[in-house]
Amino acid sequence: MKKYLFIAGTLLALASFNGLNAQNDDLLKGLEPTPANDFVLATFKGTRLINFQTIEVPGRHSLDFRISHRFGPLNSGWYDFFGLDGGASIRIGLEYSFDGRFSFGVGRTSYEKLLDGFLKYRLLRQRESGGSPLSVTLFSSAYATMQKDVNKEANGFDKYALFSSRLSYAQQIIIARKFSDRFSFQIAPTMVHYNLAEHISDKNDVYILAAATRFKFTKRMALTVEYGYRPLDYTRQKYYDSLGIGIDIETGGHVFQLFATNSFGLLENQFLTHTTDKWSNMGIRFGFNVSRVFSL
């Protein structure tokens, strides 16, 4: 109950910020720099789609405050009310850009007690006519788990004795095109690196091809889909590709993202590489993201 009261209170607090130095009714004013040189605007409506990063960064002198939440799996049954009563994963994050092209962000995730920091840079921007037909954004992030080694006593050693063993990283080249006012698509070759591999046969580097699309079907609503393909096995344990399907809802300066996904993790080193559930056995989790952009 405390968890739900916290979420409800946070959402109410966000709503109360409407007049506190926030952007006007059009969310794009906070997510895009001032149009110039016929750049294509709003390839995606936010800096994240469901889990995946998009090519977008906040606009000039803009701060994106984001809350992400994942419930338990549907196949947990009636006792956990199909995941709504079960354990949840929550992330609170901030992302800032001073020029509408380069941004940096930080966040804290409850699952695995992760602290994350990242950089994004818009290398190329699609133009309406002439110039680049694509948008390209570079993404680099680092993660540090603050959790304890629960097997320390049983194994006789602490696997996190060295702080470097707590660290992992992700690098992406995100390539996107807005084909029309309704349809956008992106792909992102990705590498995730872990300083610590759980088993001697596990690989430290994992390669993924992440794809995402958005189809706008009303003025303020859009269908979103994302999928992360892992071409190689890299661990002894069995993991699955991350797949999410959702709806974006624009309400003034807010964007609400409601969706279903088989991934419990909220960061690239979790959902792209360590998704333990699959859609075929109803290992599906409902979730939402709430984003609010402020002008600073």
Residues 130-175: tens digit of each pLDDT: 889 999 999 999 999 999 998 898 888 999 999 999 999 999 999 9
- Asked if residue 125 has pLDDT above 60, the reply is yes
- Asked if residue 17 has pLDDT above 70, the reply is no
pLDDT of amino acid 94: 97
Average pLDDT of span 112-137: 95
CATH code for the structural domain at 2-295: 2.40.160.40
Average pLDDT of span 24-52: 73
Average pLDDT of span 89-117: 97
Tokens standing for residue 56: 């977008």
Tokens standing for residue 203: 């690989």
Chain segment 209-253, per-residue pLDDT in tens: 999 999 999 989 999 999 999 998 899 899 999 999 999 998 866
Beta partners for residue 168, in sequence order: 143, 194
- Asked if residue 12 has pLDDT above 70, the reply is no
- Asked if residue 34 has pLDDT above 70, the reply is no
Cβ burial of 228 (10 Å; 0-12, 13-18, 19+) is: buried
Confidence of residue 289 (pLDDT cuts 50, 70, 90): very high
Handedness of CA 255, 260, 266, 269 (dihedral sign): negative
**Mean pLDDT score of the chain, rounded to an integer?**
88
Sorted by where each begins, the domain ranges of the chain are 2-295
Residue bearing tokens 């344990």: 237
pLDDT of amino acid 15: 40
Tokens standing for residue 23: 């952007």
